[in-house]
Amino acid sequence: MKVPRLVMFMGCLAVWPLLGAEQPHVSTPGTPGVKSEGFKTVGVEEFDKLRAEGHNPVLDVRTPAEFAKGHMPSALNIDVNGPDFEKKVAALDKSKTYLVNCASGVRSAKACGKMSHLDFRNLYNLQGGFRAWEKAGKPVEK
């Protein structure tokens, strides 16, 4: 009887801890407090505290149309799916801490990943994105 490779792989993963080996760490973007590749995902309250400090730019990575419908005060809009995203963010000051948001937290995690590869070291992704921000009753500009 031939055993499918996936079944063999899953069996190896199940036995791995029994052999005393370390299990690989897997984190998912959007998990609060978990440091992903080059950025940290935080909840609305921590994001707002960082924003209130006044020197951490808010980067909204939604489309210009989404941004026009409402955004955080003083936010800068650079569409993560735009053809010139990397060129535009590369022109930003890499020494600053950036607070990155999108609609739900997925595109902002993607943007943080791209920015970390461009040597940005202080990035915070908003868990739940702008929807969570609005739901918490935080300030919105149009």
- Catalytic residue numbers, as ranges: 102
**Nearby residues of 37 by Cβ (< 8 Å), 6 or more positions away:** 113, 116
Q: Which amino acid is at 106?
A: V
